[in-house]
Amino acid sequence: MTKHATHRPIPEAHRASEHLDNERTFLAWVRTDVALISLGFVVSRLSPTLSAAGAVNASRIFSRTQPVGIVLIVFGALVTVFAALRYDQVNRQIEAGVVKPDRALVWIVTLIIALLSAAAVAYMLMGG
């Protein structure tokens, strides 16, 4: 069984490229977060638009969709903070010449998404 290195050395000649890769990764996280926040906003504001259009039961829909939208907005904001912290951590590691992968952050975000998805499915199955 081979032992995995706990860090990856970065040659001086490749540091600029590593910084740009790190920035692209951060921007990908931000794009995802903006999509989550936007979806949360749309879901939260869907019912008042339906009410204005004269939709039946719009207030009942609003009372059920608003919490889902708020959770999406908060989750998007939280993931943005995680992404910024990781970006800063990787920048410091690149400058030191050694980058360590952060599997914990990946698993934390994955578990939160899985739990939110399971909660959404349960909510929908219960007639939400």
Say yes or no to pLDDT of 84 above 90. Answer: yes
For residues 41 and 88, the model is more confident at: 88
Question: Model pTM?
Answer: 0.69
For residues 4 and 117, the model is more confident at: 117
**Mean pLDDT for the chain?**
80
- Predicted pLDDT at 49: 58
Q: SS in 3 state form for the chain?
A: CCCCCCCEECCHHHHHHHHHHHHHHHHHHHHHHHHHHHHHHHHHHHHHHHHHCCCCCHHHHHHHHHHHHHHHHHHHHHHHHHHHHHHHHHHHHHHHCEECCCHHHHHHHHHHHHHHHHHHHHHHHCCC
